[in-house]
Amino acid sequence: MHSFSIGEFLKLGLLPALTGTFMTAAYPTGPPAVHVYGTMRNFMRQNDLSAKVALDTLRRQHLYGLGVAEGLQGELLIWNGRVATTRVTPTGLVTDTLPQGRAALLVTSAVPRWKAQPVPATVRTASELEAFVERSARQRGIQNAPFAFRLAGAPAYVGWHVMQWPTAGGQHTHDNHHRYAYRGHYTQQPAELLGFFSRQHQAVFTHHTTWMHMHVRPTGRPFAAHVDSLGLSGASLMLYLPAAGPIPLPNRP
């Protein structure tokens, strides 16, 4: 009976399967697909605040997503299939966790597995983070496709808003978009951010000044708010990108 050396196992491509590890440096079929419902230009330029997708029609297994509710009345965040819709009420912010309602804009991706890496201390601003996210994705083999990413830690500062466009708000424009937003911020508070990166989707799901769109929630809590500004100075953060390769099967008895 022939005995195989480690080198022969590598040539045959058997070692990853035998050790339970998987090659993650490249995406042979691309990263998990990103799906977009609606566009920013619909409501920024065309005053179209109507629903583009019903949340209860989504297949939510491993699903991550962000967006804004129809009528621009609330922010949306989907975290591993769990939906959170945060709205402004006369008494403050309220978050609904039922997978109901509809979205004027929604960006989603089903990501079964993530791979973590620390964010260097030299990354201090949102623009530096944007460059780091893109560079890290390229090193993982994501070249031109849009992709989801996550951040976890306690950023020095996160400025955010929750939209609540009034039903009688009149013509919606870029200039008055934030007039009816509820604003808040976190300072060195444990938080989780979900983002989507693309160089091809400005005015679709990113603003014209950035390649990223991010929402935030307190760590482990249902909440949804759009990230306006971000400061990372002195923060210890982890970046999570979609992990490439097959999904390991559960161990059999």
Q: What is the DSSP track for 26-61? A: --TT-SSPEEEES-HHHHHHS------EEGGGS--T
> Does pLDDT of 55 surpass 70?
yes
Nearest to 53 by CA among 100, 97, 94, 15: 100
3-state class of 112 per DSSP? Answer: coil
- CA nearest neighbour of 216 among 32, 66, 37: 66
Provide the residue ranges of all domains of the chain, joining segments of one domain with +: 34-242
**Whether the predicted pLDDT of 3 surpasses 70:** no
- Of 182, 195, 180, the closest CA to residue 230 belongs to 195
Mean pLDDT of the chain: 84
- State the Cα–Cα distance between residues 239 and 194, nearest whole angstrom: 10
Say if CB 23 and CB 245 are below 8 A apart. yes
- DSSP run (H or E) holding 147: strand 147-153
User: Which range has the worst mean pLDDT, 14-18, 76-80, 90-94, 156-160?
Assistant: 14-18
Architecture of the domain spanning 34-242:
2-Layer Sandwich (3.30)
pLDDT in tens, 193-224: 999 998 888 778 888 788 899 999 999 999 99
For 158, list phi and psi in degrees, rounded to 5: -130, 115
Token pair in block for residue 185: 């911020």
> What is the pTM (predicted TM-score) of this model?
0.83
